[in-house]
């Protein structure tokens, strides 16, 4: 083979090689543009880059939306128990729900958030009305909570109490921890302060400790009395002339026997009032049709208006 033919063959081979390489490069860049993850993929089609953030699993506290019921079968029953903070809300929703859907029965009770949750876990009730979020342990047992409304916790004294000033947040903390035991220490008369506290099963107590005491414990001093039952009326009756306690605002707003103490100059109606919290309805997953219907009604525009009017 002469030199001219060898040169021609070499040139043709080079052209063919460059064409193959060019076509491969064009195909590679097009596929990369269309789907960057095709560079290197795992068997599950997930990029193997160490910087990739995988989606988090669904949270057990994720809120499930329930549709407002159009009809509810006659004979449907819904049992509710839990926080005293939702007594008025429970009753208002019960009355209107039964009125709109004849033949349906809703029973309500108020033994405290913790007892309501326990009854729910034991399948004794359908819905627990609670004034605190669910714990991780409660969520792991299949409970889900949905927000119902917001409320404030009011600090109250008897109308016969001579103290008529505002308290600061630090003063409230010191009073309920037993560090301040005389009204004279907060600008009042020289009289002992009698603290009337809620039992440990109370969700309102737990949230008040979180908000007012920075999650610290209540005091264990002789001037602090802890009630056996989580009920607001007996607490208010125990105030006397020197007592102080706390309750959900809706339960004491229209009371004639007590006076609400401003905190840092703010009353519970203020948007920046320090002791505000969310109230919930909890249910066990999966929810029954009765639970779906009632919670759909409670969270609908109609239900929310009923709740607002009840508060």
In angstroms, the Cα distances linking 299 to 2, 113, 148, 283 are 93, 20, 7, 14
Residue 210 — left, alpha, or beta (φ > 0 → left; ψ -120 to 50 → alpha)?
alpha
Question: What whole-number distance in Å separates Cα of residue 114 and Cα of residue 73?
Answer: 31
Q: What is the pLDDT of residue 212?
A: 97
Q: pLDDT band at residue 16, thresholds of 50, 70 and 90?
A: low
Q: Are 124 and 101 in contact (CB under 8 A)?
A: no
* Entry pTM: 0.69
Architecture (CATH level 2) of domain 77-150+278-310: 3-Layer(aba) Sandwich (3.40)
The domain limits of the chain are: 77-150+278-310, 151-276
Q: What is the pLDDT of residue 215?
A: 87
Q: What is the pLDDT of residue 19?
A: 52
Q: What is the pLDDT of residue 13?
A: 54
Whether 54 has a pLDDT exceeding 90, the answer reads: no
- Residues of the chain above pLDDT 90, percent: 75
Cis, bond preceding 286 (omega within 30 deg of 0): yes
Q: What is the pLDDT of residue 65?
A: 83
| Residue among 169, 236, 159, 137 nearest 196 (CA) | 236
- On the question of a common fold for 77-150+278-310 and 151-276, the answer reads yes
Question: What whole-number distance in Å separates Cα of residue 276 and Cα of residue 279?
Answer: 10
Please state, rounded to an integer, the average pLDDT across all residues of the chain.
85
Q: pLDDT tens digit string along 262-287? A: 999 999 999 999 999 999 999 999 99
Whether 93 has a pLDDT exceeding 80, the answer reads: yes
Whether 53 has a pLDDT exceeding 70, the answer reads: no
Q: Which CATH class is domain 151-276?
A: alpha beta
Q: pLDDT tens digit string along 284-309? A: 999 999 999 999 999 999 999 999 99
Q: pLDDT band at residue 55, thresholds of 50, 70 and 90?
A: very low
Q: What is the pLDDT of residue 242?
A: 97
Q: pLDDT tens digit string along 122-172? A: 999 999 999 999 999 999 999 999 999 999 999 999 999 999 999 999 999
Sign of CA dihedral 231, 233, 237, 239: positive
């Amino acid at each position: 083979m002469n030199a001219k033919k060898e040169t021609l063959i070499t040139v043709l081979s080079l052209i063919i090689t460059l064409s193959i390489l060019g076509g491969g490069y064009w195909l590679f860049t097009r596929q990369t543009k269309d789907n960057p993850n095709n560079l290197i993929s795992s068997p599950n089609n997930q990029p193997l880059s160490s910087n990739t953030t995988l989606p988090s699993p669904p949270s057990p506290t994720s809120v499930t939306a329930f549709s407002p019921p159009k009809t509810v079968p006659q004979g449907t029953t819904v049992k509710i128990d839990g926080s005293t903070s939702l007594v008025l809300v429970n009753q208002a929703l019960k009355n209107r729900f039964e009125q709109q859907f004849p033949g349906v029965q809703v029973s309500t009770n108020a033994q405290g958030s913790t007892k309501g949750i326990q009854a729910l876990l034991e399948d004794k009730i359908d819905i627990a009305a609670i004034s605190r979020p669910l714990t991780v342990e409660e969520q792991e047992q299949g409970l889900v909570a949905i927000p119902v409304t917001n409320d404030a916790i009011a600090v109250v004294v008897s109308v016969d109490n001579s103290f008529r000033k505002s308290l600061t947040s630090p003063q409230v903390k010191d009073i309920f921890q037993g560090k301040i035991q005389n009204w004279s220490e907060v600008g009042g008369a020289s009289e002992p302060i009698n603290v009337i506290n809620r039992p440990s099963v109370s969700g309102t107590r737990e949230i008040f400790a979180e908000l007012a005491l920075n999650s610290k414990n209540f005091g264990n001093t002789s001037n602090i009395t802890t009630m056996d039952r989580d009920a607001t009326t007996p607490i208010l009756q125990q105030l006397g002339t020197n007592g102080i306690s706390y309750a959900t605002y809706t339960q004491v707003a229209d009371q004639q026997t007590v006076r609400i103490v401003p905190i840092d100059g703010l009353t519970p109606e203020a948007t920046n009032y320090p002791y505000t919290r969310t109230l919930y309805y909890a249910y066990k997953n999966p929810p029954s049709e009765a639970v779906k219907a009632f919670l759909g009604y409670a969270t609908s525009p109609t239900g929310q208006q009923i709740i607002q009017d009840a508060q």
